[in-house]
Amino acid sequence: MTAETARTRDWIATARTLSEALPYLQRYDGATVVIKLGGHAMGSDDAMRSFARDVALMSQVGVNPVIVHGGGPAINEMLGKLDIKFSFVNGKRVTDAAVMDVVEMVLGGLINKRIVAAINAEGGRAVGLSGKDANLMVCTQADPALGFVGTPERVNTDVLKTLFGARMIPVIAPLGVGAGGQSYNVNGDTAAGAVAAALQARRLLLLTDVAGVKDAAGTVQTELTATEIRRMVEDGTIAGGMIPKTETALAALDAGVRAAVILDGRAPNACLLELFTDHGAGTIIRLA
């Protein structure tokens, strides 16, 4: 096979892929998709660049992507550099005033702007926000023992819809605002679920570092119902860090989100695989 023949075959394969994607592009035209970004996709410049290109492409073909990001490891690193002590209660970080300052600096500044810059470098039009901007995410205190950790009570979607109208991509740091302007640290998954519910999103994509939800035999399940998820939690099949992710997914479904996907963020082009092919890259969860 000559080099020219090989190139021609590659072009034909590319054209075929685009043609096969048409029904999916039509299905999601104008749809809102909320993506919780964390784990591997944030771990390297190459992974971030790949994710950013996927998001820019989604926006280009008519999807309204909304990115909600985490940043726990970066917060831990900065707290260590500043020699600020912190603790955990039942696996959740206690956020006092000193820790809250660092959380705002890292989430609302360093991480948020890195993601915005990556998407813009790939031709997207991303805008960085925190849940404090325009009272986007209004919170109450989750638990006095945790300090300034918030539970979203209301998400004001007007600012997000305004950005959609301008074909811009919101990138949201999971910070909330409470009475008197108090800042709150919000779990990234929880924040993404609240945003998805408020927007009545077509999809909530929760990027993780695992292949998806597994059954008792360790086999990844490509599709599960809410009833099946609840049964797997009750019998211990779903355990550990997968429990809060499935809880977020179920809460979003109960609030009107069409489907939630626990997605393998290590897979190249995971979001595109899930939205625009039959293949998928994780476990999709529906009410029934």
List the beta bridge partners of residue 184. 176
Tokens linked to 4: 């020219």
Res 4: pLDDT: 62
Question: Measured between alpha carbons, how far is 100 from 59 in angstroms, rounded to an integer?
Answer: 33
Report the DSSP pairing between strands 92-93 and 88-89.
antiparallel
To the question of domain 30-286 being in CATH 3.40.1160.10, the answer is yes
Write down the pLDDT at residue 157: 95
* Domain ranges (residues) in the chain: 30-286
Could you tell me the pTM of the whole model?
A: 0.91
**What is the distance between the alpha carbons of residues 37 and 207, in angstroms, rounded to a whole number?**
6
Question: First vs last Cα of the chain: how many Å apart?
Answer: 50
Q: For each of the chain's 288 residues, which pLDDT tens digit applies?
A: 666 665 666 666 767 777 777 777 788 889 999 999 987 777 788 889 999 999 999 999 999 999 999 998 899 999 999 999 988 887 788 999 999 999 999 999 999 999 999 999 999 999 999 999 999 999 999 999 999 999 999 999 999 999 999 999 999 999 999 988 999 999 999 999 999 999 999 999 999 888 889 989 989 999 999 999 999 999 999 988 888 899 999 999 999 999 999 998 888 889 998 898 877 788 999 987
Average pLDDT for the chain: 90
Q: Name which of 280, 279, 212, 200 is nearest 246 in CA terms.
A: 212
Residue with tokens 């779990």: 187
